[in-house]
Amino acid sequence: MTQRVLVTGGQGFIGRALVSQLVVLGRVEVLALTRQDPANLVAGAHYLPGGDLSPQTQWQPVLAGVHAIVHTAARAHVLHDRAADPLAEFRRVNVAGTLRLAEQAAQMGVRRFVFVSSIGVNGVQSGPGKAFSEADQPEPHNAYALSKWEAEQGLLRIADETGMELVIIRPPLVYGCNAPGNFASLMRAVQRGWPLPLGAVHNRRSFVTLDNLVDFIVTCLEHPAAANETFMVSDGEDLSTPDLIRRMARAMNRPARLLPVPKSVLMAAANILGKGDIAHRLCGNLQVDISKSCTLLGWIPPISVDEGLRRAVGGPRSCGTRLRAD
């Protein structure tokens, strides 16, 4: 009997790519849960309307016969958040909503629950020459990261009480075609040839291309040793922000215009403009150690940074690029 995998956030940046790859592999029946009427459907997947990720949602109707869940849906970073209490709203969706899904999944006999968390659980910056690992003491730095950490703790409790296998994945910045957020802003700046005051930045950051993250999620769905483990994931090559911009520009066949503005001046100006958080991400270190992922699961990132950037900047034609079936 064909096993069923349910992907929440099936039309999101990560969820849609995962649905596409699972269909290509052809080893499972793919159920994609969406909050809205789906557009740009992935042929071969079954789309299900889903309620809000909330403490009141009844999940049983979509969980019948489901073997595993990949939970990518979440309330993510919200610019100009209008919630009266942003932390309470993050907790309502990312904590209470996630735990409601997991509790009912365990009751319905779901065997494995793969939770896409965030490197923000570990902290906002890793120390110079150091990399975050699964063994580090978590230091969530904002409401979103805190909600992910609290969800992890609740999921661990549910897994311990019910025997449902849990896999936690903490990715750093995920980039790819149609990536949201800061990566998209940086890509537009390079494409338009804007001078960027980042030439004097000497940092190291880990990134993960969407295709590598999807490949790792599939590995975590299938590998017996992934059960009840937490993993870091990245492309396996850390870059400085200027290096990222240069390689992005090369993928676009554009010049990289980097101005050597001293970091202290850059940070002071960013703080005055209310952009301190963005400047910290561009200038600070954030490295992750993926040795556990590689050793325990035998996983090697299949896509290089340069190929990942080529796909990311390639426009709509490259968005459909997926890894091939085994």
Which residue numbers are catalytic?
144
Length of the chain: 326
Q: HEC states along the chain? A: CCCEEEEECCCCHHHHHHHHHHHHHCCCEEEEEECCCCCCCCCCCEEEECCCCCCCCCCHHHHCCEEEEEECCCCCCCCCCCCCCHHHHHHHHHHHHHHHHHHHHHHCCCCEEEEECCHHHCCCCCCCCCCECCCCCCCCCCHHHHHHHHHHHHHHHHHHHHCCEEEEEECCEEECCCCCHHHHHHHHHHHCCCCECCCCCCCCECEEEHHHHHHHHHHHHHCHHHCCEEEECCCCCCECHHHHHHHHHHHHCCCCCECCCCHHHHHHHHHHCCCHHHHHHHHCCECECCHHHHHHHCCCCCCCHHHHHHHHHCCHHHHCCCCCCC
The beta-strand segments (E) located in 138-221 are 165-170, 173-175, 207-209
Is 289 in contact with 232 (CB distance < 8 Å)?
Answer: yes
Q: Which residues pair with 132 in a beta bridge?
A: 288
> Is residue 23 within 8 Å of residue 45, measured between CB atoms?
yes
Using CB atoms within 10 Å of the CB of residue 273, give its burial: 0 to 12 exposed, 13 to 18 middle, 19+ buried: exposed
